[in-house]
A = this chain, B = another copy of it.
Amino acid sequence: MNIHLKRHSNLPVHEQICQYFIDRISSKIMKDGERLPSVRQLSKELGVSLVTVQKAYQQLQQRGYVESFQGKGIFVKSTHLKEDIDDTHTNWHMVIPDYVPRAQSLSISQPLRNIRYHLGTACINGNLLHTEWIKKVTMQVIEQHPQLLGQYSSANGDMEFRKAVSDYLRTKQLSVAPEHILAVSGAQQGIELVAKTFIGPNDVVFMEAPTYPGSIDIFKSRGAQIIPIPVEHDGIDTKMLVKLCDQYHPKLLYINPTFQNPTGTTLSVKKRKELVDIAESYHFLILEDDPWSELYFKEKPPAPIKSFDTSGHVIYLKGFSKFLSPACRIGALVTEGPLLEKLIAAKSISDLGSPLLTQKIIAGLLQSKELNNVLQNLRTDLKNRGKQCIQLLHQHSSQLTFRAPNGGNTIWVKLPQHVHADLLLEYCHMKQLSFLPGSACFPTHVPNQYIRISYAGLPQEELKQAIEILCEMVNTLSSAHKYYPIESYPSF
């Protein structure tokens, strides 16, 4: 077990141990039926009292994650038939300690058996992307530079790509030189590069709560102490942020300011400027993740936080998978000075540099004259999808609370009181439907009252069926509550 215990955290040690196992179990790193270390063993390993470990295990049992068998030990609760993961010849693998505390993004993206309606993944259906255009540009790129197929990219990225990104960002009111751009293999890698370069076990990271699940995985795997900051209708609660800055000494704030994943809220201009001021005062870094600010449905969203940064406190991250080509997995990171130099070093350690081919394709797409039209069409399509989804939700259930999206591709839905997201998910799975339970978006376990659904992943007709099924299940569970008190729900 590599549990990074934080002795000076506000979270008690037994709660930290409990949280570690919840993370591993809910993201399927620990499997149904897998045995937990004995109380004695773990207490010795972590240098904590037996009582502390017992307390943690009791909580896990109460919350339904594990079960105890007299004389045998404590095991991850089997909800389904146990899969045979113990190949005899790899039995010894089970005792090798690893450094992966949580991989929620994997459990979201892994195709579940028998699932037909995927409302869980925030990606855009291939039919909505202009694959013919991408194909044409790709062919042109290869036709024009066949020799590129035999070449490596430099660690910081191809110059043509970085120039194209620089030009593109200028249209978003962000003016940066190509020299300040680092090519990354998707925004996820960008977040991970920043985390592994600047964040370690004793560092405090501030995150929006809720936030993008994949980012939580990364900061947890670095052993950071994560402090959640609530999100309001106009983005992160800056008053609370300042309060917490006095209490902790954050090294970094991770933020997704435009059509936030998962809530869909957009940070106001006022708050963007405020954030830069706060970061300057308390000397922390802001990691600004911008996956889809181009997917707006009404007015254009404000300029990136980075555009207000004159003191090098903001690292800006632009992914291209959500509106250009997911098959290329290319993004761009923007920063300067010593920060950039260390990130380039970390990038070279990670993979020596992103593929030259996919960088050249994204450069070609960004430079294409058709880009504006393509984006305009995508915006219109998504806007209509979002509208349809909202109408369907209203039509089929009166018990859900949500806000109509202004951009992006997800809706954050509050369930009626007493309908538990995990239980709802279990019922929906039986109807071949999945969504993202809100708990995945919080760094620490919270009352499970929210779900995130994406309206961009399914073909139109299937989206309609999916929302009908979802609402039906919500209504069923909600009315069932009238007959059964909440305590008697099967734990999950």
| A contact residues vs B (CB 8 Å cutoff) | 2, 27, 29, 85, 87, 89-90, 92-94, 96-100, 103, 105-106, 109-111, 123-127, 129, 131-132, 134-135, 138-139, 142, 146-155, 185-186, 188-189, 192, 196-200, 214, 217-218, 221, 251, 283, 285, 310-312, 321, 325-330, 336-339, 341-342, 344-346, 348-358, 361
Contact = CB atoms under 8 A, between A and B. Distances in A.
Contacts of A129: 149-150
Contact of A87 (B127, B336, B342, B358): B336
A444 to B, nearest CB: 18
A326 B337 CA distance: 29
A356 B338 contact: no
A338 B139 contact: no
Copies in the complex: 2
B312 A89 contact: yes
Contacts of A353: 109, 329
A142 B149 contact: no
Contact of A352 (B2, B152, B214): B214
B90 A338 contact: yes
Contact of A146 (B103, B132, B198, B321): B132
Contacts of A341: 29, 85
Contact of A196 (B99, B189, B200): B99
Given A29-B342, A106-B345, A342-B100, A93 B197 contact: no
Closest 9 CB pairs of A and B: A90-B337, A126-B150, A103-B345, A106-B348, A90-B312, A129-B150, A93-B338, A329-B355, A327-B356
Given A90-B338, A92-B311, A127-B150, 14 more contacts: A89-B310, A96-B285, A100-B197, A109-B155, A110-B155, A126-B150, A134-B149, A138-B149, A150-B325, A153-B329, A186-B352, A188-B351, A221-B349, A328-B355
B337 A96 contact: no
B134 A192 contact: no
A311 B90 CA distance: 6
Contacts of A111: 154
Nearest to A357: B327
5 contacts: A98-B198, A109-B154, A132-B146, A185-B351, A218-B349
A196 B129 CA distance: 35
Nearest to A138: B142
Contacts of A346: 100, 103, 221
A326 B150 contact: yes
Contacts of A351: 185-186, 188-189, 192, 329
A131 B342 CA distance: 34
A197 B109 CA distance: 20
Contacts of A186: 351-352
B131 A344 contact: no
Given A338-B85, A355-B355, A327 B151 contact: yes
A108 B349 CA distance: 12
A344 B85 contact: no
Given A93-B338, A138-B142, A321-B152, A327 B355 contact: yes
Contacts of A339: 90, 93, 96
Given A285-B96, A345-B103, A149 B123 contact: no
A100 B349 contact: yes
Contact of A149 (B106, B135, B196): B135
